[in-house]
Amino acid sequence: MLNALDLRLLNEFQHHFPLVPNPYDEMAQRLGLSEDALLERLQTLQNTGVISRVGAVLRTGQVGVSTLAAMQVPAEALEQVAALVNQFPEVNHNYERDHAINLWFVLTAASQQRLQAVIAQIEAESGYSVLMMPMIKPFHIDLGFPLQ
């Protein structure tokens, strides 16, 4: 359960992360916390699965390579395969869709070779094929949303 401080932290900084040399100190000051207390709170939110990570999302193609990827996974294996996919730091996020192709995720890697290696490892370890759908035309989609 999120408390008022958690909600304020997540709402204020999902769009306006401070671009300064010490961003966590800046965030902590705005919230009336110490930097250590802020970092501890973020770690707790991550450990409990409330957030997956804190970090930049860069415009596709500006640094490294990326692709939207999807898999057709039987319902009974979905949770296990999603956990496998999440183990890779190159995975930005993954989600289930109500469709035959039901596990979708975004991969970003330093090089095309690394991207292919991650895909190959996911396929080898899961036993399921990965469909890659690299971006053809860019769109900006704001994934932030107000928390209450």
Task: Give 84-128 pLDDT, tens digit per residue.
Answer: 999 999 998 889 999 999 999 999 899 999 999 999 999 999 999
Top-ranked range on mean pLDDT: pick from 10-24, 40-54, 56-70, 112-126: 112-126
What distance in Å separates the CA atoms of residue 48 and residue 30, rounded to the nearest whole number?
24
Residues 43 and 108: their CA atoms lie apart, in Å, by 23
**The listed CATH number (3.40.30.10, 3.30.70.3460, 1.20.210.10, 3.20.20.70) that belongs to domain 65-133:** 3.30.70.3460
Q: Domain segments of the chain: what residues?
A: 4-47, 65-133
pLDDT tens, 57-95? Answer: 666 666 789 899 999 999 999 999 999 999 999 998 889
Cβ–Cβ contacts within 10 Å for residue 127, how many? 10
